[in-house]
Amino acid sequence: MNTLKAGYARVDITPPLGIAVRGYYIARYAKGILDPLEASALALSCGEAPALLVSTDLCGIEAELCDRFRAAMSEAAGIPAENIYLTATHTHTGPMLLYSDRFPMDAEQLRRYVDFLEARLCDLAVLAVADMKPARMGFAVGHAPDRVAYIRRYKMKDGSTMTCPPINDPNIDHPIGELDQRVNVLRFDREGGESVVILNYGVHADTVNGELLSADWPHWTRKTIEQTLDGTKVMCLVGAQGDVGSTNVHPSGGDMNDTEISFDDEMKSPGMARFVGRALAGTILQVYDKVEYVDVDTVAVAHQFVDVQANRPKPEEMPLAREYKRLHDEGRDDLIPYEAMELTTVVAEATRMCMLENGPDKFTLELTGVRIGSVAFVGVPGEPFTGIGVGIKDNEGWDLILPTCITNGFEGYFPMRDAFEEGGYEARSSRYVSTVAQDIIDGADKLLAEMRK
């Protein structure tokens, strides 16, 4: 028997101009607003304490801040903090949330924004819980159209591995890995209220660039659907996207329409965000009227903690790492003998080595699961590669499994085992050893098994 209730809310979380913009290893400060940053929430219950799914237009929220925000939302809305599933879309044109020595930053402005964000998230939780109405849930799996996503790691003809190589580089041989083009769509129809659609797909929200605040492609997905389907709201809970971007390294036809090549050799512009967002909105429209409705009589939340060994540097690696980090922190990247994404890679690697020189030896990652009847969400606190998402989905006993990135934490990249031997930006910057992907998949299996009981 269906006993599901669902409540929805959305608030504006756009920061003030001048705030540091997060997403690259270069200093950027917000000079304008391309589109508003928003946070959306869906409260779900079958009579028990609600679970709260939250999507924010932010690059990431570290575990420390996640814990703070969840505690505040819990107190404001009267729901358990452990029932809050707090995600970020990973937009690269959103604000810094933690102070960074890498960039000059107004610490007081940052503190005021984080306080404002906490208050807005509390409002969001209160509004979503107050809006709960009888609902039914349907699901479908669509297929992403061409040109939306590409594996962004490539084996080069000289035997090296590069993340985001230059467009039309003659040294490119082939991409490393396969896309998961499945687009998960959940639809909640509520009595006397708006319908809510959740889109779950793995691709970086890194298609805009520049110093204008933007929610990137999720803004355009929401806008397109909400202008097309009266009484429907959209939430984007991004999937496993650690090795997936939107740049075609061999563009043809109209691929370069309304876009440009960025400082890191990728195809980026507001036009790219519009294209990706509209294309994914089209996938929603293809399946929206044909979702399979199922009764929901259970909503439950579970957690699984996974220990992963730290990717600590060797002593002989430290002199060069300290030098590259010093030059970068001093704004002297021109003295580091690399360019574009190769420069970003060696700086990120040096930063990781300096961070872990004196430990710790291991990290504990929190996986969060939400069961909604025969459908499950599995939240990973960072950027998992596509293979991790596929491994999580490959679990029997569920109608649909939706892996999400940057959930209840933002703890870096989680590459597949082979990537640590192959190289590339993600693996060289990762704080974890090569077992991390399997550790997460195994932890997700335990989490899903617990929620099936």
Tens of pLDDT, residues 56-86: 999 999 999 999 999 999 999 999 999 999 9
Nearest to 414 by CA among 380, 446, 442: 380
In this structure, how many other beta carbons lie within 10 angstroms of the beta carbon of residue 225? 22
From 124, 89, 117, select the one nearest 7 (Cα to Cα).
Answer: 124
- Residue 87: which residues within 8 A CB-CB, separation 6 or more? 53, 54, 55, 56, 237, 238, 379, 404, 405, 406, 407, 408
What local confidence, expressed as pLDDT, does residue 264 receive?
Answer: 82
- Percent of the chain past pLDDT 90, that is, above it, reads 94
- Is the model's pLDDT at 218 over the cut of 90? yes
DSSP code per residue over 33-98:
ESS--EEEEEEEESSSSPEEEEEESSS---HHHHHHHHHHHHHHHTS-GGGEEEEE---TTEE--S
Q: What is the pLDDT of residue 111?
A: 96
- Say if CB 116 and CB 214 are below 8 A apart: no
What is the pLDDT confidence band of residue 439, given thresholds at 50, 70 and 90? very high
pLDDT 10s digits, 308-353: 999 999 999 999 999 999 999 898 999 999 988 899 999 999 999 9
* Per-residue confidence band for 221, with pLDDT thresholds at 50, 70 and 90: very high
Alpha carbon distance 387, 436 (integer Å) = 12
Mean of per-residue pLDDT scores for the chain: 96
DSSP symbol at 383: E
Peptide bond into 218 cis (omega under 30): no
Using alpha carbons, select from 216, 210, 204 the residue that is nearest to residue 272: 216
Q: Which of 141, 131, 154 is nearest to 187 (CA)?
A: 141
3-state SS, residue 374: coil
pLDDT at 105 (0 to 100): 86
Q: Please give the Cα distance from 161 to 317 (Å, whole number).
A: 20
pLDDT at 341: 87
Say what the pLDDT of residue 99 is: 86
Q: What is the pLDDT of residue 199?
A: 98
What is the model's pTM? 0.96
Report, as an integer, the average pLDDT of 412-432.
Answer: 96
Whole-angstrom Cα distance, residue 253 to residue 375?
A: 40
Instruction: Give SS3 for 318.
Output: helix
pLDDT band at 362 (very low <50, low <70, confident <90, very high): very high
CA distances from 333 to 102, 154, 340, 389 (A): 12, 24, 11, 35
Q: Stretch 222-226: mean pLDDT, rounded?
A: 98
164-198 as b/e: b if 16+ CB within 10 A:
bbbbeeeebeeebbebbebbbbbbbbbeebbbbbb
CA 326 – CA 351 distance, rounded (Å): 10
pLDDT in tens, 121-154: 999 999 999 999 999 999 999 999 999 999 999 9
What pLDDT does 440 receive? 98
**Burial track 413-435 (b if 16+ CB lie within 10 A, e otherwise):** bbbbbebbebbbbbbbbbbbebe
Residue 395 has pLDDT above 90, yes or no: yes
In this structure, of 20-24, 126-130, 390-394, the range with the lowest mean pLDDT score is 20-24
**Token output for 210:** 């520049």
Residue 25 has pLDDT above 90, yes or no: no
pLDDT of residue 102: 74
- DSSP-derived pairing of the beta strands 84-88 and 161-163: unpaired
Q: At residue 185, does pLDDT exceed 90? A: yes
pLDDT over 70 percentage in the chain: 100
Choose between 441 and 104: higher pLDDT. 441
Q: Is 393 helix (H, G, I), strand (E, B) or coil?
A: helix
Q: Which tokens belong to 332?
A: 């002297």
Q: Mean pLDDT across the stretch 370-377? A: 98
In the predicted structure, residue 101 carries a pLDDT above the cut 80? no
Is 211 in contact with 193 (CB distance < 8 Å)?
no
Count of C-beta atoms within a 10 Å radius of residue 396: 6
DSSP states of 97-137: -S--TTS---HHHHHHHHHHHHHHHHHHHHHHHHT-EEEEE
